[in-house]
Amino acid sequence: MAEKNTNTKATVKRILGYAAPYRSKIALALLFAVLYVGLNLTAPVLVGYAIDNAVKEGEVHFNSIINLLMFVGVTVVCSSFFQWLMNLCTNSVAYFTMRDLRRDIYRKFNSVPLKYIDGHPHGDLISRIINDVDSVGDGLQQGITQLFSGVVMIICTLGFMIFLNVYIALVVVIITPLSMFVAAFITRISQKMFREQSKTQGEISAYIEEYIGGQKIVKAFGYEEHSVENFEEINERLRVCGQKSQFYSSLANPSTRFVNGLVTAAVCAVGAVSVINGNLSVGQIATFITYANQYTKPFNEVTGVIPQLQSALAGADRVFDMLDEEDQKPDLPDAYDLKECSGKIDIENVNFSYVPEKPLITDFSLHVKPGQRIAIVGPTGCGKTTMINLLMRFYDIDSGTIMIDDKSIYNLTRSSMRQKYGMVLQDSWLYNASIRDNIAYGKPDATPDEVKEAAKKAFINHFIERLPDGYDTIITEEGGNLSQGQRQLMCIARVMLCHPPMLILDEATSSIDTRTEIRIQKAFNEMMKGRTSFIVAHRLSTIKEADIILVMKDGNIIEQGNHEELISKGGFYHNLYNSQFQKTTESVIIAKS
């Protein structure tokens, strides 16, 4: 329990640290809270005087009552105005803090190793930057508002009550702390459930994100009922932990109200005796009862927002867990930018594994001359795409060296090294913007003519110009209004626009029809002239022109040479190539028959 309390204190401290830059707004909120509470507490005194002017037999002073009531009206209006200003300041602090948290999380996405992004459900990460930060903002907004107005209200009302009657004030002070003990006990019980609720919200967000993105597959395999069952299971767990957290936390407010009701009853009883004994007037006891309610009100309000505060702490824990994640290894202090590159690559004795106990690539070596075309083939899971990840430093090798132009890639800045590669992946990625912006993603300052020329080389210009808005057509999220082949052609055009010295083509034509693929291959052949190129392909007919074909299996190169050499060896590549050719021939025969 002590550790949990320490963690909670550390979390609160970090949240307040994010709010600290806006201390001027916090100071203004405190000033407006003092004015709001001061005016709010003035009204009961005036009402008490008005009552005293009305209850004396034969001495009702109507003019004094009217004047007092006018002053009450003015204080109520002014009090409401300062309360509005206080809320304005606290809301501003909360939203600026939320902005800063989201900014830092988004930056964290760009600084953590790629394995962190790959190792977490994307929907859960999205939930942290949206839902959890919203919870923090709501809790901060409620917390600051209740803290400022509550603390000032308690101090001021206590002062007024002591001024009116010390003994009755002591009755209030003695009984009121009981409500805090009750609230603290209930808070300990419910905090665990709020953490579980926040975690389950991230889980359900991840599930929804996966299944919305894969709806075509869900429908194609008739998985709708199973997906609904899985969703219902997660949703039911969310309901249970949410209901429990709300149930336990909702006990706090009525429990404290019960204790505070005892305070009011005690004030009425003691006050009635004081009036009978002539120590207080009727107006004063009315004022005292109002102050007793005002004194206990902050305790009620704080316990009323306990669910938001606990949800904020649970969300903050998940946010800070991510912000505390270790960043990828920074560039070396003396790392330098790679200005020019001939394309010579040397890989020596590289070992790599995603999981330490399961080696994937072992003692891998390769020497590539400038301008060579290197094809990488092999069965699924042999390490083809992993090699691309290592070349780009998306993952760091366990041992060995990778060099570009006799310079270790670990002595180069990541950005300058990656800019020397142009990548076309099997999974085409486009974002919500115009076609022109998507093609010019790697070269934002490209002219319209340059963009159009790249589109022509990728054989997509004709399609683009037939669209109503041409190159200004807005692409929906991930290119949803384009076919898979069209999306891939746009990614190819994006690379052709940049003219990088080295190319990586990872199943770059997998979603393109055969006729267009032949034309694209011609464009690739032209683009690859004089450029070092790595080609990953399952269709072996597309890599026959490669200078070197690396045949990989279980993370090792088992064969190496050009197409003719490997075919003549009659080894693994020979069997793999002939099996594909045989399947193609059989498909043609079946189609003709």
Q: How far apart are CA 269 and CA 263, in angstroms?
A: 10
Please name every residue paired with 345 in a beta bridge, in sequence order, or none if there are none: 368, 404
Is 351 in a helix, a strand, or coil? strand
Is 532 in a helix, a strand, or coil? strand
Query: How many other C-beta atoms can be found within 10 angstroms of the C-beta atom of residue 158?
Result: 16
Spatial CB neighbours of 356, under 8 Å, sequence gap ≥ 6 = none
**In what side-by-side order are the strands of the sheet with 373-377?**
421-424, 502-506, 532-536, 373-377, 548-553, 556-561
Q: pLDDT at position 404, please?
A: 92
DSSP state, 444?
A: T
Q: Which of 479, 445, 441 is nearest to 463 (CA)?
A: 479
* Model pTM score: 0.68
Alpha helix locations (H) across 348-473?
Answer: 384-391, 414-418, 435-439, 448-457, 461-465
Please name every residue paired with 368 in a beta bridge, in sequence order, or none if there are none: 345
Domains and CATH numbers, the chain: 22-323 (1.20.1560.10), 337-418+548-593 (3.40.50.300)
Q: How far apart are CA 391 and CA 404, in angstroms?
A: 10
Q: How many CA atoms lie within 13 A of 479 on its CB side?
A: 18
User: Hey, what amino acid is at 184?
Assistant: A
Count of residues in the chain: 593
Q: How far apart are CA 567 and CA 578, in angstroms?
A: 9
Q: How far apart are CA 70 and CA 64, in angstroms?
A: 10
Measured CA to CA in angstroms, residue 106 lies from 28, 125, 126, 443 at distances of 30, 10, 10, 23
Provide the token pair at 386.
Answer: 């992993």
Q: Do 246 and 189 form a contact (C-beta atoms < 8 A)?
A: no
Q: Is 464 exposed, middle or buried (0-12, 13-18, 19+ CB in 10 A)?
A: buried
Q: pLDDT at position 584, please?
A: 46
Per-position pLDDT tens, the chain of length 593: 444 444 778 888 888 889 889 989 988 988 888 888 778 777 776 666 666 666 565 566 666 767 777 877 888 888 889 888 988 888 888 889 989 999 998 888 888 888 888 878 777 888 888 888 888 888 888 777 776 677 777 777 777 777 777 777 777 777 776 766 766 676 666 767 777 887 888 788 878 777 776 666 676 666 777 778 888 888 888 888 888 777 777 776 677 777 767 777 777 777 777 777 777 676 677 777 777 777 777 766 666 666 677 778 888 888 898 899 888 888 888 888 888 888 899 989 888 888 877 888 888 888 888 988 898 888 777 777 888 888 888 888 889 999 999 899 999 988 888 888 888 877 777 888 889 998 998 888 889 999 999 898 888 888 899 888 889 988 876 666 677 778 888 888 888 888 888 988 887 666 667 776 777 777 777 778 888 989 887 767 667 778 888 888 776 778 888 888 888 888 888 888 787 655 444 443 334 44
Q: Is 216 exposed, middle or buried (0-12, 13-18, 19+ CB in 10 A)?
A: exposed
Q: pLDDT at position 486, please?
A: 81
Q: How many CA atoms lie within 13 A of 103 on its CB side?
A: 7
Q: Do 315 and 132 form a contact (C-beta atoms < 8 A)?
A: yes
Phi, psi of 177 (to 5 degrees): -55, -20
| CB neighbour burial string for 14-43, b if at least 16 within 10 angstroms, e if fewer | ebeebbeebeebbebbbebbbbbbbbbbbb
